[in-house]
Amino acid sequence: MRMNALAYATINQLTLISLRLDPCTVPAGHRYIMQPAPAERFVYVTRGSAVFSLEKGELSVNERDMIYLPRDTAYISNWREDAAFMVVDMLLRDSEGQDIRFDDAPSVLFNDVHRVYDGMLHNLAEKAAAQGPFDWLERMSLALKFLCEIARDTNSSELHEKYRRILHGVTYLESNYALDFPIEDLARMCALSVGSFRRLFFECKGMSPVDYRNSLRIRQAATLLKTGRYTVSEAAEAVGIQDIKYFGKLFRRYTGVSPSALKKKGLENGSAIR
């Protein structure tokens, strides 16, 4: 079954059989031979570029590309430069026990221009092997969120017309997320009523315009804090949030940790974000 067939499925029509995440760093010139594996594989490149040699052709991949490799795909990756990437192996089945595939052939699904998947995969990697109370439940929640975002992005053609209608508003929001302005302004840019804009936005993005703006703000704030060069209040102000208590609440909601904890971890890791 293809993933797009589950666009309007119920929860009992999908089962997550297995999930594995491997953060990797490799030097320039690294060559890796991958034998066929019984899982759908996604490779998210955070830094570097490579050529994936496949049975039928090649894939040229670059920074922020999300690569899809169907199960049982053999390949050789040749990394042109020092690189960092996350490998996600996921096996899904439908209610009849059939494997769910995203596509029939290896491909570069999309380029994550706005780094939507950075924080998501970081959080998922932290919970991948955690054994604390309810960590399994949070791991499942994060995995399904990742799955949802991938499914939306890989089936974007079905949403293209709806997305086109709100594109001006989305683009403005993504470029000005640190500013405070009413959603009515975005709806007006798209010549839509507020209700229609909100509905189309949710159908295309899976969240409300306010939630999307907050997610962009917190993602940028997390990036700033990991450098070790910003205080919590400075990071909050940089992304347009003046209320530090509200900032902390939002930060925990979207990252699962407090701003100060993330800043401390960034300092312990050498104040580096790649």
pLDDT in tens, 112-131: 887 778 878 888 887 777 78
Q: What is the DSSP letter of 127?
A: H
Q: For residue 85, what is the enclosing H or E element?
A: strand 83-93
Statement: the pTM of the whole predicted model exceeds 0.75: no
Per-residue pLDDT, 274: 30
Extract the residue ranges of the chain whose pLDDT is less than 70.
1, 4-10, 154-160, 266-274
pLDDT in tens, 258-269: 998 888 876 666
Could you give the strand order of the β-sheet that contains 75-79, starting from the edge strand earlier in sequence? 31-34, 75-79, 50-54, 57-61
- What kind of fold does domain 211-268 have according to CATH? Arc Repressor Mutant, subunit A (1.10.10)
CB-side neighbour CA atoms (13 Å) of 142: 28
Per-residue pLDDT, 272: 39
pLDDT in tens, 195-244: 999 998 988 787 899 999 999 999 899 989 988 889 999 999 999 999 99
Neighbours of 214 (CB within 10 A): 20
Domain 3-154, CATH homologous superfamily name and number: Regulatory protein AraC (2.60.120.280)
Q: d(Cα 233, Cα 255) in Å, to the nearest integer?
A: 17
Per-residue pLDDT, 178: 94
- Is the CA virtual torsion 2, 143, 274, 35 positive or negative? negative
Per-residue pLDDT, 150: 81
How wide is the angle at C-alpha 21 spanned by C-alphas 15 and 22, nearest 5°?
160
